[in-house]
Amino acid sequence: MREGLGLNVLTICGSARAGSYNAALLRALPLLAPGEMAFTASIPVINIPHYDFDLQNASGPPAAVMELAGTIREADAVLIVSPEYNYSVPGLLKNAIDWISRVPKQPLANKPVLIQSVSNGILGGARMQYHLRQVLVALDARVFTKPEVMVGLAASKFDETGKLVDEATQALIRTQLAGFLAFAKEQPTP
C-alpha cells in the first residue's frame, strides 16, 4: 500500500457473460467499500488465449498475459469475483491463472487476494471459492478467508438493472471489505 494513497485493488471477473451478476457485484463495490479503497478493473479474462506450453516455450507468455501480470504487480491487492461452473472455477478464470503462474517473478506471491462469488443457486459459489483458494495458495497469494461473501439466489438480490439491492448482502460486503483492508495493510510474514 502506497503511503497516503489508499489501497489500489485490481478486480478480476471470472465471468464473460454480458448480464453477469458477478460483474454487477463488481460494479457495486465502490459504494460499499471504505473510502481508502480504489478499484481498477483488469483486462477481461476472455482476452487471454488458452494456455499452451509449446507457445510459452516458443515465444513466452502472450501480451495479454503480461499485461495482466503487470497490473497484478502494480496493484496493492486483488479481488476476484466469479461464478461457479460445475462445482469449480470457470475455465476462463483458471486459464488466466494458469498463464499467470508461468510468469517469472510470480505476481501473486504475497499479494493480498479477496474472493467473492455470485450464483443463482443457494450455495452462492461456495465450491468454486474453495477450489480457487487452493490454486491461489499454491501461488503463494495471501488469501483473505473471513468473512466470506457467497451471494446465492442472485435474482432475488439484484434488481432488473443489475443493481445490488439486498441490504443484508450489502452489509456483509461492507464488513468483508473493511476486514480485507486491514488484512491487506498487514505485512506478510517472511
For 21-36, what is each residue's pLDDT tens digit?
999 999 999 999 999 9
Residue 188 has pLDDT above 80, yes or no: no
1: in domain: no
Query: What is the extent of the structural domain holding 90?
Result: 7-185
- Grid coordinates belonging to 99: 498463464
What's the CATH number where 139 sits?
3.40.50.360
Distance CA(169)–CA(37), nearest Å, equals 19
Q: Span 155-164, mean pLDDT?
A: 95
For the chain, what is the domain count? 1
Residue 1 has pLDDT above 60, yes or no: no
- Asked if 148 and 129 count as a contact pair (C-beta separation under 8 A), the reply is yes
151: in domain: yes
